[in-house]
Structure 1
C-alpha cells in the first residue's frame, strides 16, 4: 500500500488518516507492506502483526529487486536528536522514549545529540506542488547515526529534527484537512539519507513548538495536536520494522520477503510515477496486480494511461479492498460486478478449404 509523502493525498496526506485503510487491508491480506507515511499518526498508532513498516527509499529498492525484507521480532532502536532542539523540547522527546520503554516495552536503547544543529529547511516545489526541503548539515546527522550504530549496536534509527515554527496562517489549510503537509517532504529527505547510507530502518519525527489551540480542527489533522511530540508512532513502527538485506542467496536462506512475493499494489490513481510502482510494473517474473484509487487525489498527475501502465481502476478503498479479497481468493474481480463477464472469446484458428480463419 503506497501513499506518496508530501503530495496532499486526500487520504493519507494528513496525520495518519490512511491508517484505517491499512487496518482494513491487514485483515484481508497475509502480509501488508507499507511505509511510515501510511502508519504514522503522531501520538497514535495501531499494532498490526502482519504489517511491515518500510521506509520509502527502502521500499523502492525492494521493488527493484535489489533489497529483501527480513521480518524481525524486535530492533534495537536509537534516537538522534537535533542539536538545534531547545532544552524543554528535548526533554519532551526523551520522556516519550522512556514512556515507550516502560509502558510498551519497546527496545529503545540510547540517544545521541548531533554535534551541529541540522538546520532543517522546507518548501513546496513549484513544479510538482509536493513539499520538499533539505538539512544544511547532513554530515552531522550521518556522524550521529554512525556513532549509534557502532557503539550502541542499534539496527533502527529515529531522527528528531528541529523544524522551523510556522505562523498559524501558514498551516491553517492543513489543520482544516486541506492542502499538503509541508513537513512531510523534507522528513522523507532525512530518512532517505540515513537508509541509503546505512541500509537500516529509519523514520523521522519533527520537533516543533505547539500551535495555539484551534476550535475548528479537522479530525484528519488532530492526531498531531494532542501531545507534545510526534515520536510515539515512530518508535512503535521502528521497533518491529523489517531489516533490509541485499537480495542474494543469503537473503533467500533467511526466509526474506522478495519483490516477486508481492501479489498486488494499491495506490492513488494520479501517483503512479514513483520508482517502486514503475519497478513493479516492469517485473517480468511475476507482475503484481496494480490497483489505482480515484478518490485518493494528490497534487501529482502521474496516471497509468500517461505512463503506459496496466492497472485496475477503482473508485475508492472500499472497492479496492474487495478487489484484493477476490484476487487473493483466485476470483476474477469482474465476476462480482453486474454484466462484466462477456461470452468467452476464441483465438484459435481452424483450416477451412486450405485457408485459416480466426474466431
Structure 2
C-alpha cells in the first residue's frame, strides 16, 4: 500500500514539464541582404528544423521557411511576416496560434496566361493533395507593375510596385466576400531586370527579387493586420550547370507558390495589443527567451526592440558565419549579445539557456569567483601599507609640531599660540580622514 501511495504522489515526466514555462526563440534572417545562410532559396530552413527540436516554440518569418517548391511542416514553428514580427517585438502586436486559416490567393493582372494557369494549378494541387483551405482566387484590376533594383548605399535589394491600390482593393474584396484570414500574393516580376540572377544562382549574389517581396507583404499586413506572404512570378530560367545547392529549390518547378500556401495555412493571427492577450492564449514579446541573428544584421526594428526590452530582455545571439551586406553589428549598436561562430554553437547556447545552464560552463576555460576576489585582496594589502605609511608620517608631523609648540610656547602672544594649535589640529584631522578613506576603499 505504501508503494502504491508513493507512486500516486510522484508526478510523471509530462506533469513535471507543466511546471516549466515554454521556451520561445525567435530566428531572424533579413531578406534581400545577401545573407550567407538564408539569403537564397530556403537555405536557412535546416537551421530552423534543428532549432525547432530544441525549443518549445520557434517564431520566424517566410524568408527562413520558404523554399519555393519545398517546405517542411513543423508544429511548433510560427510563420510570421516580417512587418508583423517587428510589431510583435515592439510589444504592439501579439500572436494567436490557429488550427487553420482561410487563405485567399491574389494574382497580378500582369501575369501571362501560362503563368496564371501554373499558379492556379498550384492552388488546386495544395487543396487536393494537402487539404489546404484555399477558399478563393482573384486577379487584380490593374497590373501591379513591379520594379526592382539594388540600393547603391546599403547594397540591399529593393524596389516598388506602381499600383499598390490595386493590390489593396483585391485584398479588401477577399476579406469582405470570402472572409479570408490570410493572403498569398503572386506578382509578375520583370525578366529584363534580373541579369544579376546568374550570380545569385551561383550562391554569390543578392536575391534581387526579395526586397520588393518584403515591400508587398508589408503593405498588406500594415493595412489589414492579417498574415501575408508573396511569391514572385518569373519566366523559367534556362538550365544552369553548375548550380549552387542553396539556390536549387527555385529551379525545380514553375512557381515558388507551394511553400507560401503551406506556411500561410497555419500562420498565427495578429492581434493589436489589448487586455485580451492573456485571455485568448496569445504569445507576446515578453514570452521570448532568445533571439538569433546574423552577426551584422542587428539593426532592424525587431532586433532593436528585442535588445532594448528593459523588463524582460531575451538572450541575443549573433552568428559570425552568417554575414550580410549590412554592417549593423552588436558592438556598433551597443547591443549586449553572445557572439558565436556558427549555428551549431548557437543551437548549443540555446539548449544550455533553456536548461538553465551557463553556456560558459560548457567550455574548457571557466572563470572563478575566487579569482575575481583575489584582485581586491591584493589591493587591500597595498592599501594597508599606504595607511601605515600615512600614520607614520602623521605621527612624525605631530611630534615635530609638539616639540616646536613646547620650545617656543613661552613668551609668545596669544595669536601665535592659536595659529600653532590650529595647524596641529588640522594635521591630525587630515591624517585621520585619509586613513578612514583608505579603510573604506579596502572594505
Given the alignment of the two structures, is residue 315 of structure 1 paired with residue 341 of structure 2, yes or no? yes
Match of 1:172 among 191, 198, 215: 198
Structure 2 Cα separation of the partners of residues 80 and 316 of structure 1: 38
Tell me, what secondary structure is at the counterpart of 1:245?
Answer: strand
Structure 1 Cα separation of the partners of residues 127 and 362 of structure 2: 47
Tell me, what secondary structure is at the counterpart of 2:246?
Answer: coil
How many corresponding residue pairs? Answer: 358
Given the alignment of the two structures, is residue 268 of structure 1 paired with residue 294 of structure 2, yes or no? yes
Tell me, what secondary structure is at the counterpart of 2:291?
Answer: strand
Match of 2:240 among 214, 217, 225: 214
Residues 67-86 of structure 1 aligned to structure 2 (within 5 Å): 67-86=93-112
> How far did 1:215 drift?
1.9
**Alignment-derived partner of residue 109 in structure 1:** 135
| Cα distance per residue 1:257-312 (max 9 Å; x no partner) | 00000000000010000000101111111000000000000000000111011000
**Alignment-derived partner of residue 86 in structure 2:** 60
For normalisation by structure 2, the TM-score amounts to 0.79
**Alignment-derived partner of residue 408 in structure 2:** none
Contact 2:196 / 2:205 at 8 angstroms: preserved in 1?
Answer: no
Match of 2:170 among 133, 144, 161: 144
Tell me, what secondary structure is at the counterpart of 1:278?
Answer: helix
> How far did 1:251 drift?
1.9
Tell me which structure has the larger Cα radius of gyration.
Answer: 2
Structure 2 Cα separation of the partners of residues 247 and 162 of structure 1: 35
Tell me, what secondary structure is at the counterpart of 1:220?
Answer: helix
> How far did 1:342 drift?
2.6
The structure richer in helix per residue is: 2
Instruction: Indicate the RMSD between aligned Cα atoms, in angstroms.
Output: 1.7
Structure 1 Cα separation of the partners of residues 31 and 109 of structure 2: 26
Which one has more relative contact order, counting CA pairs under 8 Å at least 6 apart? 1
> How far did 1:5 drift?
0.5
> How far did 1:169 drift?
4.3
Match of 2:363 among 324, 337, 344: 337
| Cα distance per residue 1:101-141 (max 9 Å; x no partner) | 01001111101100000000000000000000100000000
> How far did 1:220 drift?
0.4
> How far did 1:240 drift?
0.3
Structure 2 Cα separation of the partners of residues 140 and 348 of structure 1: 70
Given the alignment of the two structures, is residue 356 of structure 1 paired with residue 431 of structure 2, yes or no? no
Which structure 2 residue ranges, 5 or more long, are not aligned?
1-26, 385-434
**Alignment-derived partner of residue 223 in structure 1:** 249
For normalisation by structure 1, the TM-score amounts to 0.97
Contact 1:168 / 1:211 at 8 angstroms: preserved in 2?
Answer: no
Residues 1-359 of structure 1 aligned to structure 2 (within 5 Å): 1-166=27-192, 169-344=195-370, 345=372, 355-357=439-441
